């Protein structure tokens, strides 16, 4: 009884000190028990990217809880993973400051940050302070490529930045490949594809990658019109009218949730007659919130996106937990890759057997991890640029108002339906 | 007063020896935004021509220096002046259009916003400057490329920028140029009537202000290592630039500096505090309330209030 | 050039203009009477949208009926804001006015984020999907209705300002504050009501637009900028100007989307703004530069 009371008072003291110290930014003195391993997890949880940012943070937290629940990092005496969370507000200067702040509070590893601008601003911090930085999600190729180049040219000694996410160029290549395979599987040969995309960083990057891959592959289908819109749009009626005027067989949309909510009803209202909607890869086409708003407009829509591997029994459990903790949301690209990011880091720590930056980086480079929940084309490894070449996309389809993997065959959980049935 | 200023500068000079990297980063942003605010202060505070589009100048300077570095290998130490010059050109264009056509007050504000937005949309759609993806600068830590492995060097660069801009404004204050600007701010029609060439002085203020902002853009590019149109031309950056001098006291020498020293740490504290509580967005509500509070309780800005309070203290005792 | 496309573009632009007009009317009233620039305009509209969403999802009230409640709620908000905040800065330097409304905008945006979360949402209404086809061209019924309501609202406001005592006091205060004071007008009350009505318009606009646009907390800024554009082009303080300005801006953007790349359509409206600012800053229907 006595011990319990003393323990509780000590805990409250510690919590008070911790709160005060954390606020003032002073590094905490270590307490008894195996010290927690602090990972700085920084995402845009406010501002225009708040929706994916909050999903990433929750995914990371779930993974940390899973690792701790299974006994922590065994190679470090069962040390728990503690997340120090940060908000970039989608601003690069805030991203940099947050990275510095969590490192000051003891973060030994960084993860983040979805938005390429903030991520690029955090790279110098990682390099300057020698803190390993795992990019869980970010599209721009140069983020890792530039660091690799600097190391190669001798301007930097060691690469601290690694990315476990498909790069912009790989999105495009896989999408073009899947388009061809899906058409062949369905036994149809559409000729005219209209590419429509949101004109922000992600949309432009993907659209460019898609067009470049198309030009390189020279398939039997043509991109007959390319229609970008400012994101977020208030009205897409003219854009859809333009698409309709191009007489498409297929509409290939790259959207964000807001623009998808405008695009799909508009396509139906204007009675654009097509074989189907096949997305080269973007959010907005499969999330629980989107399905709730768009309902049957999304039925039969195909999208080539980074997706979780639902053939893995652990995935279904994680998805269920995520649904509960997020108030009904889908375990998808954002939450999934942040989840895998923490799981990956746990594996790295087990192999590094220490939090020393050189040991962690060496362990990162030697990664060969198969415990991820997302669909990969092989184990997680890092190439000479610091990217994971096995991070790929999967073609999913909305069937029965639920997103399910339909291609490639190894990942498919249902048979693909194409062309879409006439309404 | 001068002794106080010298003392403060001395303290700022030796501070990095005692601070960790996080605190140094905070100071860097305090100095940087104070610098941008001071640049704005020339035309927005002293001349009274409110601009909410100063991000346009920062952006032009940033993109220029970055492009010259990436494609022509030109060191940003020179590139920053080219960027500043281009920004000044844009400033002169906007100033000419605004002042020649007699735009005042809110109409001028909206003209500046329109130009910043036009720059943003053009950059967003121009492949050559990277479009929405923007430009990425490799971190090498090489001083010849205006990059430093040690955060502390950035601290001194930012401090130097802030002090230079303040020095320029102090010079303006002390000379006829400053008197004319104040006259224009108080009553432009009367100044015209008295024979002051208001157009010339407003244009000069605009040119200097935009030139300095352009130089700030280079610092931005080589401290944050990437440029995206929405971040560097967008309205949120323009807002960050103007709130510091307004809170500190527009048209006063120390206003932008005081404003930056108030807003940056408070914003940082509230974000750090609310982060743990898990309410994303709560810290910005606090920030907004702070701005409202300043307007209600310090309607002339923090510096005039502080100056009066100090004076009263001294004369009372 | 595909004539059908051009025709559809024109029709789309015109009808969507009703949406724009509706959002600008409240702003022009506030500026016209009080010479205060409401930077929180877009965020107030977003709150109107969220209130309509709450009514639709929790109580099943269609936004085409529920907009009255949203208008009333924002009217109250406008009164309170004016009485306790805006009133204090009516004579303050411009930069302080801007700072105040920026602060209010920040608070509104993030309160919405905390209250409703970051996901974009849309309100379902019975009219959301209806279309009327005229040959190869279609008319979006929801937008047609909004267009109609925009006309009705502008008309109602116009009648209020010209036919009622309170409205006339408002116009008097707008034209000559000192004179209005001299003849005994309670200028403070006039200002409060003006701000309240302006806010109510914005709230109604938000509700009526909520089935058409997906919205999220961060959408306020873009809405504010668009509304400022429209009000300047149409003429600050002119109701007719706000209405026509909304149509014009929407038409310009729509035609820009047809002939240029749609991603450049905002460029068209900003360029239009610059031209108006330079050559006719009072706007198309405005009375004179203040």
Q: What phi, psi does B172 have (nearest 5°)?
A: -60, -45
Q: List, in order, residues 6 or more apart from B169 with CB less than 8 Å away.
A: B38, B41, B42, B46, B253
Residue of C nearest to B291 (CA): C103
Q: What is the pLDDT of residue C22?
A: 82
Cβ pair B166, B38 in contact under 8 A: yes
- List, in sequence order, every residue forming a beta bridge with A302; answer none if it has no partner: A278, A397
Measured between alpha carbons, how far is A210 from B197 in angstroms, rounded to an integer? 57
Task: Determine what percent of chain A is predicted with pLDDT higher than 90.
Answer: 66
Q: List, in order, residues 6 or more apart from A109 with CB less than 8 Å away.
A: A37, A38, A39, A40, A131, A132, A133, A134, A345, A355, A360
Cross-chain Cβ contact A289/C13 below 8 Å:
no
Identify the burial level of B180 via C-beta atoms within 10 angstroms of its C-beta, where 0-12 means exposed, 13-18 middle and 19 or more buried.
Answer: buried
Cross-chain Cβ contact B97/C278 below 8 Å:
yes
Q: Which two tokens stand for residue A373?
A: 């929940």
Cβ pair A205, B132 in contact under 8 A: yes
| Interval B228-245: pLDDT, tens | 999 999 999 999 999 999
Give me the residues of chain B with pLDDT under 70, please: 1, 276-278, 314-317
Q: Which CATH superfamily is domain A169-305+394-407 in?
A: Response regulator (3.40.50.2300)
Residue labelled with tokens 């492949």: B127
User: Between helices B105-124 and C94-116, what is the axis angle to 10°?
Assistant: 50
Listed residue (A164, A54, A51, A42) closest to A111, CA to CA: A42
Q: In chain C, count of helices (H) and strands (E)?
A: 11, 2
Measured between alpha carbons, how far is B222 from C128 in angstroms, rounded to an integer? 49
Cross-chain Cβ contact B139/A204 below 8 Å:
no
| Interval A198-251: pLDDT, tens | 998 889 989 999 999 999 999 999 999 999 998 888 888 888 988 999 999 999
Cβ pair A254, A223 in contact under 8 A: no
| Interval C206-245: pLDDT, tens | 998 888 888 888 888 888 988 988 998 988 878 888 889 9
Is the torsion defined by CA of C276, C36, C147, C193 positive or negative? negative
Cβ pair A65, A57 in contact under 8 A: no
Count the neighbouring beta carbons within 10 Å of the beta carbon of residue C63. 29
Q: What is the pLDDT of residue B307?
A: 85
Q: List, in order, residues 6 or more apart from B257 with CB less than 8 Å away.
A: B34, B37, B38, B162, B166, B248
Residue labelled with tokens 């990371």: A60
Q: What is the pLDDT of residue C1?
A: 59
Cross-chain Cβ contact C214/A293 below 8 Å:
yes
Which run of H or E residues covers position B227?
Answer: strand B226-227
Cross-chain Cβ contact A123/B22 below 8 Å:
no
A20 pLDDT band (50/70/90 cuts)?
A: very low
CA atoms within 13 A on the CB side of B55: 28
Q: Chain C residues with CB inside 8 Å of A235's CB?
A: 12, 16, 19, 213, 250, 253-254
Mean per-residue pLDDT, C2-10: 83
Give CATH for domain A33-166+311-365. Answer: 3.40.50.2300
DSSP letters spanning B39-103: HHIIIIIIS----S-THHHHHHHHHHHHHHHHHH---HHHHHHHHHHHHHHHHHHHHHHHHHTT-
Residue labelled with tokens 């919590």: A15
Cross-chain Cβ contact C95/B292 below 8 Å:
no
Listed residue (A139, A136, A24) closest to A83, CA to CA: A136
Measured between alpha carbons, how far is A123 from A134 in angstroms, rounded to an integer? 10
User: Among A78-87, A317-326, B125-134, B157-166, which stretch is predicted with the lowest mean pLDDT?
Assistant: B125-134
Number of residue pairs across A and B with CB atoms under 8 Å?
133
| Interval A24-39: pLDDT, tens | 444 445 444 578 999 9
Radius of gyration of chain A (CA): 23
The 10 Å CB-count burial string (b at 16+, else e) for C33-43 is: bbbbbbbbbbb
Q: What is the pLDDT of residue A18?
A: 46
Residue of C nearest to A260 (CA): C214
Residue of C nearest to A53 (CA): C118
Listed residue (A86, A273, A136) closest to A192, CA to CA: A273
Count the neighbouring beta carbons within 10 Å of the beta carbon of residue C279. 8
Q: What is the pLDDT of residue A14?
A: 41
| Interval A116-139: pLDDT, tens | 899 999 999 999 999 999 999 998
Listed residue (B37, B61, B91) closest to B242, CA to CA: B37
Q: Which two tokens stand for residue B7?
A: 């003392």
SS3 assignment, position C11? helix
Which of B31, B59, B225, B277 is the best substitution to test chain A (most A C-beta atoms within 10 A)?
B225
Q: List, in order, residues 6 or more apart from A41 with CB less than 8 Å away.
A: A56, A57, A60, A61, A83, A84, A85, A86, A111, A112, A338, A342
Interface of C with B in 207-236 (CB under 8 A): 217, 221, 225, 228-229, 232
Q: What is the pLDDT of residue A57?
A: 95
- The answer, yes or no, to whether residue A44 has pLDDT greater than 90, is yes
Q: What is the pLDDT of residue A222?
A: 94
Is the torsion defined by CA of B218, B220, B221, B227 positive or negative? negative
Q: What is the pLDDT of residue B118?
A: 94
| Interval C89-133: pLDDT, tens | 877 788 888 889 999 999 999 999 989 988 888 887 777 777 888
Cβ pair A140, A168 in contact under 8 A: yes
Identify the burial level of A247 via C-beta atoms within 10 angstroms of its C-beta, where 0-12 means exposed, 13-18 middle and 19 or more buried.
Answer: middle
Task: Determine what percent of chain A is predicted with pLDDT higher than 70.
Answer: 92
β-bridge pairing A394-399 and A402-407: antiparallel
β-bridge pairing B226-227 and C131-134: unpaired
Q: In chain B, count of helices (H) and strands (E)?
A: 14, 2
Cis peptide before A408 (omega within 30 of 0): yes
Q: Which two tokens stand for residue B21?
A: 């990297």
The 10 Å CB-count burial string (b at 16+, else e) for A29-68 is: eeeeeebbbbbbbbbbbbbbbbbbbbbbbbbbbbbbbbbb
Mean per-residue pLDDT, A169-198: 93
Mean pLDDT across chain B, nearest whole number? 90
Please tell me chain B's helix, strand, coil percentages from 3-state DSSP, rounded to the nearest 5. Answer: 80, 0, 20
- Reported in sequence order, the residue ranges of A176-323 that DSSP labels E, i.e. its strands, are 192-198, 222-229, 250-254, 276-279, 302-305
Which of B25, B269, B273 has the CB atom closest to A100's CB atom? B25
pTM of the entire structure? 0.88
Q: Which two tokens stand for residue C20?
A: 């724009």
Interface of C with B in 100-119 (CB under 8 A): 100, 102-111, 113-114, 118
Q: What is the pLDDT of residue A423?
A: 62
What does the domain layout of chain C look like in residue ranges? 25-218
Higher local confidence (pLDDT), C162 or A317: A317
Which of C37, C217, C267 has the CB atom closest to B121's CB atom? C267
Q: What is the pLDDT of residue A21?
A: 45
Interface of A with B in 168-187 (CB under 8 A): 168
A310-319's contacts with Cβ under 8 Å and 24+ in sequence apart are A310/A404, A310/A405, A310/A413, A311/A411, A311/A413, A312/A373, A314/A373, A315/A373, A318/A62, A318/A66, A318/A373
Cβ pair B146, B77 in contact under 8 A: yes
- The answer, yes or no, to whether residue A3 has pLDDT greater than 60, is no
DSSP at A283: S
* Residue C214 to chain B, least CA–CA distance (Å): 20
Number of residue pairs across A and C with CB atoms under 8 Å?
108
What does the domain layout of chain B look like in residue ranges? 23-234
Cis peptide before B285 (omega within 30 of 0): no
Provide CATH 3.40.50.2300 ranges for chain A: 33-166+311-365, 169-305+394-407
Q: What is the pLDDT of residue C3?
A: 81
Q: What is the pLDDT of residue B43?
A: 94
From residue C23, alpha-carbon distances to A81, A239, A291, B59 in Å are 49, 23, 29, 31
Mean pLDDT across chain A, nearest whole number? 88
Cβ pair A172, A208 in contact under 8 A: yes
Is the torsion defined by CA of A288, A290, A295, A301 positive or negative? negative
Count the neighbouring beta carbons within 10 Å of the beta carbon of residue B166. 19
Measured between alpha carbons, how far is B111 from B103 in angstroms, rounded to an integer? 8
Measured between alpha carbons, how far is A121 from C152 in angstroms, rounded to an integer? 51
Residue of A nearest to C116 (CA): A51
Q: What is the pLDDT of residue A398?
A: 94
Cβ pair B24, B151 in contact under 8 A: yes
Measured between alpha carbons, how far is A281 from B76 in angstroms, rounded to an integer? 37
Measured between alpha carbons, how far is C155 from C166 in angstroms, rounded to an integer? 16
Measured between alpha carbons, how far is B16 from B18 in angstroms, rounded to an integer? 5
- List, in sequence order, every residue forming a beta bridge with A376; answer none if it has no partner: A391
């Amino acid at each position: 009884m006595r011990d319990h009371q003393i323990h509780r008072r000590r805990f409250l003291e510690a919590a008070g000190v911790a709160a005060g110290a954390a606020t003032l930014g002073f590094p905490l003195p270590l307490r008894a028990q195996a010290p927690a391993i602090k990972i700085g997890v920084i995402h845009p949880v406010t501002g225009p990217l708040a929706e994916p940012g909050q999903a990433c943070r929750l995914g990371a937290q779930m993974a940390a809880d899973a690792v701790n629940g299974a006994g922590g990092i065994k190679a470090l005496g069962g040390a728990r993973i503690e997340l120090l969370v940060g908000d970039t507000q989608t601003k690069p200067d805030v991203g940099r400051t947050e990275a510095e702040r969590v490192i000051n509070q003891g973060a030994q590893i960084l993860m983040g940050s979805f938005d390429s601008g903030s991520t690029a601003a955090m790279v110098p911090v990682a390099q300057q302070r020698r803190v390993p930085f795992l990019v869980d999600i970010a599209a721009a190729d140069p983020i890792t490529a530039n660091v690799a180049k600097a190391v190669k040219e001798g301007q930097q000694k060691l690469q601290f930045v690694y990315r476990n996410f498909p790069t912009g160029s790989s999105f495009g290549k896989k999408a073009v490949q899947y388009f061809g395979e899906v058409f062949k599987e369905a036994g149809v040969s559409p000729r005219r594809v209209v590419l429509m995309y949101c004109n922000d960083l992600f949309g432009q990057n993907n659209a460019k990658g898609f067009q470049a891959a198309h030009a390189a592959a020279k398939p039997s289908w043509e991109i007959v019109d390319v229609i970008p819109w400012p994101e977020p749009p208030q009205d897409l009626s003219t854009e859809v009218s333009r698409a309709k005027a191009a007489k498409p067989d297929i509409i290939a949309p790259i959207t964000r949730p807001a623009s998808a909510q405008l695009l799909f009803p508009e396509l139906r209202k204007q009675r654009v007659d097509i074989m189907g909607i096949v997305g080269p890869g973007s959010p907005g086409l499969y999330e629980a919130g989107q399905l709730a708003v768009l309902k049957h407009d999304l039925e039969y829509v195909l999208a080539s996106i980074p997706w979780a591997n639902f053939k893995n029994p652990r995935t279904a459990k994680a998805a269920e937990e995520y649904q509960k903790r997020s108030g009904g949301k889908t375990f998808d690209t954002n939450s999934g890759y942040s989840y895998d990011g923490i799981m990956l880091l746990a594996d790295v720590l087990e192999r590094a057997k220490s939090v020393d930056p050189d040991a962690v980086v060496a362990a990162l480079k030697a990664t060969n991890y198969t415990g991820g929940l997302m669909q990969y084309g092989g184990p997680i490894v890092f190439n000479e640029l610091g990217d994971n070449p096995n991070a790929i996309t999967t073609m999913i389809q909305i069937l029965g108002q639920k997103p399910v993997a339909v291609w490639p065959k190894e990942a498919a959980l249902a048979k693909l339906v194409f062309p879409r049935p006439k309404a | 007063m001068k002794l106080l200023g010298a003392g403060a500068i001395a303290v700022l000079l030796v501070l990095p020896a005692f601070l960790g990297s996080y605190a140094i980063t905070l100071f860097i942003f305090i100095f940087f935004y104070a610098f941008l605010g001071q640049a704005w202060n020339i035309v927005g505070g002293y001349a009274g021509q409110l601009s909410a589009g100063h991000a346009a100048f920062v952006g032009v300077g940033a993109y220029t220096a970055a492009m010259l570095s990436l494609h022509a290998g030109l060191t940003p130490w020179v590139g920053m002046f080219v960027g500043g010059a281009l920004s000044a050109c844009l400033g002169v264009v906007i100033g000419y259009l605004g002042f020649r056509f007699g735009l005042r007050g809110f109409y001028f504000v909206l003209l500046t916003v329109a130009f910043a937005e036009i720059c943003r949309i053009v950059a967003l759609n121009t492949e050559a400057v990277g479009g929405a993806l923007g430009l990425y600068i490799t971190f090498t830590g090489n001083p010849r490329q205006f990059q430093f492995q040690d955060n502390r060097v950035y601290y001194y660069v930012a401090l130097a920028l802030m002090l230079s801009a303040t020095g320029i404004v102090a010079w303006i204050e002390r000379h006829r140029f400053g008197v004319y600007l104040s006259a224009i701010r108080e009553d432009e029609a009367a100044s015209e009537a008295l024979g002051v060439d208001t157009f010339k002085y407003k244009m000069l203020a605009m040119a200097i202000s935009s030139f300095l902002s352009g130089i700030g853009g280079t610092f931005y590019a080589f401290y944050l290592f990437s440029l995206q149109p929405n971040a560097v031309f967008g309205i949120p950056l323009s807002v960050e630039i103007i709130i510091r001098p307004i809170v500190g006291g527009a048209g006063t020498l120390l206003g932008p500096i005081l404003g930056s020293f108030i807003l940056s740490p408070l914003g940082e504290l509230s974000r750090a505090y609310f982060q743990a509580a898990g309410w994303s967005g709560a810290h910005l509500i606090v920030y907004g309330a702070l701005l409202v509070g300043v307007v209600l309780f310090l309607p002339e800005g923090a510096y005039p209030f502080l100056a009066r309070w100090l004076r009263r203290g001294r004369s009372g005792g | 050039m595909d004539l059908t496309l051009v025709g559809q573009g024109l029709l789309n632009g015109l009808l969507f203009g009703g949406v724009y007009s509706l959002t600008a009317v409240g702003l022009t009233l506030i500026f016209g009477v009080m010479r205060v620039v409401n930077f929180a305009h877009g965020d107030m509209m977003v709150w109107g949208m969220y209130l309509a969403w709450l009514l639709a999802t929790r109580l099943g009230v269609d936004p085409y009926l529920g907009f009255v409640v949203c208008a009333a709620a924002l009217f109250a908000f406008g009164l309170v804001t004016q009485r306790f905040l805006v009133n204090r800065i009516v004579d303050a330097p411009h930069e302080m006015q801007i700072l105040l409304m920026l602060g209010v905008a920040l608070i509104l945006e993030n309160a919405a984020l905390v209250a409703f979360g970051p996901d974009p949402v849309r309100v379902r209404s019975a009219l959301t999907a209806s279309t009327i086809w005229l040959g190869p061209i279609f008319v979006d019924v929801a937008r047609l209705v909004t267009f109609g309501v925009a006309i009705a609202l502008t008309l109602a406001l116009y009648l209020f300002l010209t036919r009622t005592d309170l409205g006339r006091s408002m116009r008097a205060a707008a034209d000559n504050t000192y004179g209005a004071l001299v003849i005994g007008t309670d200028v403070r009350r006039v200002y409060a009501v003006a701000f309240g009505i302006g806010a109510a318009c914005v709230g109604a606009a938000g509700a009526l637009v909520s089935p058409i646009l997906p919205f999220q907390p961060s959408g306020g800024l873009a809405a504010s900028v668009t509304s400022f554009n429209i009000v300047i082009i149409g003429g600050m303080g002119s109701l007719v100007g706000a209405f026509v300005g909304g149509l014009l801006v929407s038409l310009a953007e729509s035609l820009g989307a047809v002939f240029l790349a749609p991603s450049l359509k905002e460029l068209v409206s900003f360029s239009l703004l610059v031209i108006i600012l330079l050559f006719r800053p009072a706007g198309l229907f405005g009375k004179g530069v203040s």
